[in-house]
Amino acid sequence: MKSDRKHFDEMLLGQDGVRDPYSEYHTWFSKEDPVRLTKKSKEAEAFFRRTGITFNVYGQSAAQERLIPFDLIPRIIANREWTKLSKGIEQRVRAINAFLHDIYHRQEILRAGIVPIELISRNDAFLPQMMGVTPPGGVYTHIVGTDIVRTGEDDFFVLEDNARTPSGVSYMLENRETMLQMFPELFSQIKVQPVSDYPKNLRRSLAACAPPNCDGKPTVAVLTPGIHNSAYFEHSFLADQMGVELVEGHDLRVVDGRIQMRTTEGYQVIDVLYRRVDDEYLDPLNFNPDSMLGVPGIMDVYRAGNITIANAPGTGVADDKAIYSYMPEIIEFYTGEKAILKNVETHRCSEPDALKYVLDNLADLVVKEVHGSGGYGMLVGPAASKSELASFAAKLRRNPSNYIAQPTLSLSTVPIFAKKGLAPRHVDLRPFVLVSPDGMNITPGGLTRVALKDGSLVVNSSQGGGTKDTWVLED
């Protein structure tokens, strides 16, 4: 495989060289029989199928449940690279928590004119019900997934923040388990930092956020919308790995001012609820009255300080892609430091000059909905047809505040194991952060998502992307 000079190749240097993080792996790989690797690749697919590692695709009548494509060539990150990344991630997550506390209390960043007040007041993700509410331990974002892309040797950018209900950690864990089973000899040769303690760390971190009136060892549960949710595999996987109950809204009720779950021995108090249900459906008495997924009255129990909800209601405002464009200023406002990790240049289409620029340069830009996720509702200008560009331009003119635009980055590539050998494909990275009053825990590595289509920049599994095991090397 030759290096693609147009994009930074994380494995290869020029025509024949290999970057240091990949040197030991490349030596091993060059001695491997391609027939054996092809067999291993099929074994991995069979393992994922047996384990039930699938996701659901919304809006399609056929083949809704799909297997997550897995590529057996790991993405390898040097320890020094990870040190820089983790410092930047920690700084960013600290600032996000401070920002959320501020906008639900004194709103000093709005008073200072750093963030326009209308980005909060007109934001559907901002919950007035959270005004004046401080979560137990002061933690709003208990679990954060920060999407990072790379464009050069030392050039990392944050693509977006996931502070609401970040998903994908189960794939990170299963990818590593699969690699350990298929290539145990690799992990004895190459010292890779482990990720298997994530479920234990997650439970410990959630328990540390229990409300003050928790009596004894905190009871933790995972709230799922049910089996038809796209991430149900992950909900059940994490509950099982933590050794806690997986519950649905109909399993819970308010008893004596506490949230209790139905068990074979009667109802039991829950101290910490790791919810994977969106704010809108969390409490039909406070939000969407038609919701069958949440718990009537849970927000009243929460505001009274009698349960911890992770992540806190209202954290979705920090996921807003228009708010994202102010993150360098937000970081400096709350930490007094310049951002370690850079933002991608972002044009806010709500601003007339920015909208004109975006419409004039639509074929060169990536346009996203401010509350969008999963790759839905976005336009990749360079890959769009003339009719698609015209249609999207009409959407922008109708509702410009619903969109932001970014330049098309020259994303780094990592090899995948293709039929004709190694082939470069674009990747991103979602490291996972656990936050508690005791501090932060950042799992070394995270979920690498890979665009399996040649030339594609869209890595989301819902849009045809796959995953890789991510190795952070020890010193």
Q: What percent of the chain has pLDDT over 70?
A: 94
The answer, yes or no, to whether residue 253 has pLDDT greater than 70, is: yes
What average pLDDT does the chain have?
92
Of 8-17, 144-153, 461-470, the poorest mean pLDDT is in 461-470
How many Å is the Cα radius of gyration of the chain? 23
pLDDT for position 64: 53
Of 21-25, 260-264, 340-344, 369-373, the poorest mean pLDDT is in 369-373
Amino acid at 169: V
Higher-pLDDT residue of 198 and 1 is 198
Is residue 432 within 8 A of residue 143, CB to CB? The reply is yes
How large is the angle between the packed helices 198-207 and 232-242, nearest 10 degrees? 80
CA 377 to chain centre: 17
DSSP three-state, residue 112: coil
Amino acid at 474: E
The answer, yes or no, to whether residue 447 has pLDDT greater than 90, is: yes
Question: How confident is residue 63, by pLDDT bands cut at 50, 70 and 90?
Answer: very low
Q: How large is the average pLDDT for residues 96-103? A: 98
Q: Where would I find the beta strands (DSSP E) of 257-314? A: 258-263, 266-269, 272-275, 308-310
pLDDT for position 53: 67
- pTM greater than 0.85 (yes/no): yes
The answer, yes or no, to whether residue 121 has pLDDT greater than 60, is: yes
Question: How confident is residue 380, by pLDDT bands cut at 50, 70 and 90?
Answer: confident
Q: What distance in Å separates the CA atoms of residue 255 and residue 269, rounded to the nearest whole number? A: 9
Higher-pLDDT residue of 439 and 376 is 439
Question: How confident is residue 286, by pLDDT bands cut at 50, 70 and 90?
Answer: very high
The answer, yes or no, to whether residue 123 has pLDDT greater than 80, is: yes
How large is the angle between the packed helices 34-51 and 169-182, nearest 10 degrees? 140
Answer positive or negative: Cα dihedral of 209, 215, 220, 226.
Answer: negative
The answer, yes or no, to whether residue 5 has pLDDT greater than 60, is: no
The answer, yes or no, to whether residue 56 has pLDDT greater than 60, is: no
Higher-pLDDT residue of 377 and 285 is 285
Beta strand 220-223 with 272-275 is: parallel
Is residue 92 within 8 A of residue 158, CB to CB? The reply is yes
DSSP state letters, 150-187: EEETTEEEEEEEE-SS---HHHHHHHHHHHHHH-HHHH
Is residue 338 within 8 A of residue 332, CB to CB? The reply is yes
Residue 192 is classified by DSSP as B
Q: What distance in Å separates the CA atoms of residue 315 and residue 93, rounded to the nearest whole number? A: 12
pLDDT for position 3: 45
pLDDT in tens, 153-209: 999 999 999 999 899 999 999 999 999 999 999 999 999 999 999 999 999 999 999
Is residue 57 within 8 A of residue 66, CB to CB? The reply is yes
Report domain extents, the chain.
12-340+409-472, 345-407
The answer, yes or no, to whether residue 55 has pLDDT greater than 60, is: no
What burial class does residue 219 get, using C-beta atoms within 10 Å of its C-beta: 0-12 exposed, 13-18 middle, 19+ buried?
buried
Is residue 206 within 8 A of residue 220, CB to CB? The reply is yes
How large is the angle between the packed helices 198-207 and 169-182, nearest 10 degrees? 150
Higher-pLDDT residue of 233 and 310 is 310
DSSP three-state, residue 54: strand
pLDDT for position 472: 98
The answer, yes or no, to whether residue 230 has pLDDT greater than 60, is: yes
- Written as six digits, the tokens of 358 are 């975006």
Length, in residues, of the chain = 475
- Residue 123 makes CB contacts below 8 A (sequence gap 6+) with 317, 320, 323
CATH architecture of 345-407: 2-Layer Sandwich (3.30)
- Residue 457 makes CB contacts below 8 A (sequence gap 6+) with 366, 380, 383, 408, 409, 411, 426, 451
pLDDT for position 61: 45
Higher-pLDDT residue of 261 and 14 is 261
Beta strand 266-269 with 258-263 is: antiparallel
Question: How confident is residue 475, by pLDDT bands cut at 50, 70 and 90?
Answer: confident
pLDDT for position 453: 86
Q: Token match 């009053």: residue?
A: 437
Amino acid at 280: E
- Written as six digits, the tokens of 441 are 């825990």
Question: Given phi > 0 = left and psi -120 to 50 = alpha, else beta, which region is 290?
Answer: alpha
Q: Where would I find the beta strands (DSSP E) of 258-302? A: 258-263, 266-269, 272-275
Q: What distance in Å separates the CA atoms of residue 377 and residue 369, rounded to the nearest whole number? A: 6
Q: What distance in Å separates the CA atoms of residue 236 and residue 222, rounded to the nearest whole number? A: 8
* Cis peptide, bond prior to residue 311, ω within 30 of zero: yes
Question: How confident is residue 69, by pLDDT bands cut at 50, 70 and 90?
Answer: confident
Q: What distance in Å separates the CA atoms of residue 247 and residue 263, rounded to the nearest whole number? A: 10
Q: Token match 């969008």: residue?
A: 372
Q: How large is the average pLDDT for residues 121-135? A: 95
How many CB atoms neighbour CB 146 within 10 A?
25
Q: Token match 């049910």: residue?
A: 226
pLDDT in tens, 11-28: 998 777 999 999 999 999
